[in-house]
Amino acid sequence: MSTFEPIPKTMKAAVIPSTGASLVIRDDEPVPQPEDLLPGECLVKMDCTGVCHTDLHAAKGDWPIPAKTPLIGGHEGVGIVVAIGAHTQDSPVKLGDRVGIKWLADSCLDCESCRKGLEQVCLKGKYSGFTVDGTFSEYVHSYVRHVTPIPDGIGSAEAASILCAGVTVYRAIKYSHCGIGDWIVLPGAGGGLGHLAVQYASAMGLRVLAIDTGADKRDLVMKLGAEKWIDFKETKDLVKDIQDATDGLGPHAAVITAATGKAYEQAIDYLRPGGYLMAVGLPAKASLSADIFFTVTKSISILGSYVGNRQDAREALDIAARGKVKCYFSTKSLSALKETYEGLEKGNIVGRIVLDFKRQ
């Protein structure tokens, strides 16, 4: 075992005691101690963490698979490696390194999925803030092979949400089969994932039609590079409005990051023949129904896209560190997590909220 600085016995953490229960901020949560780390494990002292809508789904028990409880949520954390388990061999990170903790906390790196670069579906995968405790605490237990080195040239608060929101939309757009000049529609564009998708898509030379609601989200996405905007609460005919905005033929791809099943409903209708529907948003208890006739005769591809692998994370961060993509966020303290969940629920958070552990 090696440590960077003295490690306290207790810490501040936001804990969900049981599924659906309200959040409790504790000062006396035990800190995982360096001598208890196994080879390959590390302890990261958090600097800040983004809040993803996934954290709210996990806290509420929205999905067919429940999160562990009690749960410390969070999976967009940036901090410093302060301890590494004894007998760790060939660690890709060292004490004092600035690293990110993403949704995929660990995977075996040896099964077929891992070998093919689809490590996020590894059957031995561990998920931060879901199957293992996440980043809403001052110290986080993690794994040296999966923490992500944060490049110089990007602040920790700027990097935080790239670790989930950024990598997720970056990968979804990468696999959407869009080329320069193609139209991409982004329902959910004003949210955490969506506003980063607007920028990655623009950086890749795509033409962006952003969909969300309200003047604040419209102004943000237009500033970030969207060419056109539709307010989903104001449109009378979504399919017609989308097709009219995209040469009359519809977009080449849709990357759906809205946290509601409704946003998926008409995608098959408005997509251009040969188009790609990238399923990203994970609404509660929703299923995707697609008219088989039109899916076949329009040759539509429907692909699920789940966060990204270690390489996707490095690529997404590198693009952000070079200034091509910037997270739009406000910082708050850990104690503001509850009100952040309420804001996500109501859909009134523009961009992202990042919790700063230095703030009281």
Q: Footprint of ligand 8ID on this chain (CB under 6 A)? A: 52-54, 57, 164-165, 168, 187-188, 190-194, 211-213, 217, 232, 257-260, 262-263, 280-283, 305-307, 344, 347, 349
Which is closer to ligand 8ID, CB of 113 or CB of 257?
257
Sequence-ordered alpha helix ranges (H) in the chain: 53-60, 112-115, 156-160, 165-174, 192-203, 215-223, 238-245, 267-270, 292-297, 310-321, 337-346
Q: Look at residue 57 and give the partner it binds from ligand 8ID, Zn ion, none, a contact being a CB closer than 5 to 8 Å depending on partner kind.
A: ligand 8ID
Q: How far is the CB of 52 from Zn ion (least distance, A)?
A: 3
Distance CA 86, CA 1 (A): 4
Distance from C-alpha of 145 to C-alpha of 97, rounded to nearest angstrom: 13
What DSSP character marks residue 68?
Answer: P
Q: How far apart are CA 200 and CA 169, in angstroms?
A: 8
- Whichever of 111 and 286 has its CB closer to ligand 8ID, that residue is 286
If the CB atoms of residues 132 and 211 are measured against ligand 8ID, the closer one turns out to be: 211
Report the nearest approach of ligand 8ID to the CB of residue 308 (Å): 8
Helix (H, G, I), strand (E, B) or coil at 212: strand
Q: Tell me if 154 sits within 8 A of 163, measured CB to CB.
A: no
**Closest alpha carbon to 225 in 242, 201, 190:** 201
Q: How far is the CB of 40 from ligand 8ID (least distance, A)?
A: 24
CB atoms within 10 A of CB 15: 18
Q: The tokens of 15 are what? A: 């804990």
Nearer to ligand 8ID, 274 or 304 (CB): 304
| Site residues for Zn ion per CB under 5 A | 52, 54, 164
Shorter beta-carbon distance to ligand 8ID: residue 2 or 131: 131
Q: What is the DSSP string of 130-198?
A: TTB--SSBSEEEEETTTSEEPPTTS-HHHHHGGGTHHHHHHHHHHTTT--TT-EEEEETTTSHHHHHHH
Residue nearest to ligand 8ID (CB): 191
CB of 134 to ligand 8ID, least distance (A): 13
Q: Between 140 and 189, whose beta carbon lies closer to ligand 8ID?
A: 189
Q: 337 with 204: CB under 8 angstroms?
A: no
Least distance (Å) from ligand 8ID to the CB of residue 242? Answer: 11
Q: What is the Cα–Cα distance from 184 to 182, expressed in whole angstroms?
A: 7
Q: Please state the φ and ψ torsions of residue 23, each to the nearest 5 degrees.
A: -70, 140
Alpha-carbon distance of 54 to 62, in angstroms, equals 9
Comparison of 134 and 191: residue with beta carbon closer to ligand 8ID:
191
3-state secondary structure (DSSP) of residue 307: coil
**Residue 265 is encoded by which pair of tokens?**
């409903």
Closest distance of CB 277 from ligand 8ID, Å: 13
Q: What's the closest the beta carbon of residue 284 comes to ligand 8ID, in angstroms?
A: 8
Return the number of the residue (173 or 271) whose C-beta is nearest Zn ion. Answer: 173
Q: How far is the CB of 4 from ligand 8ID (least distance, A)?
A: 30
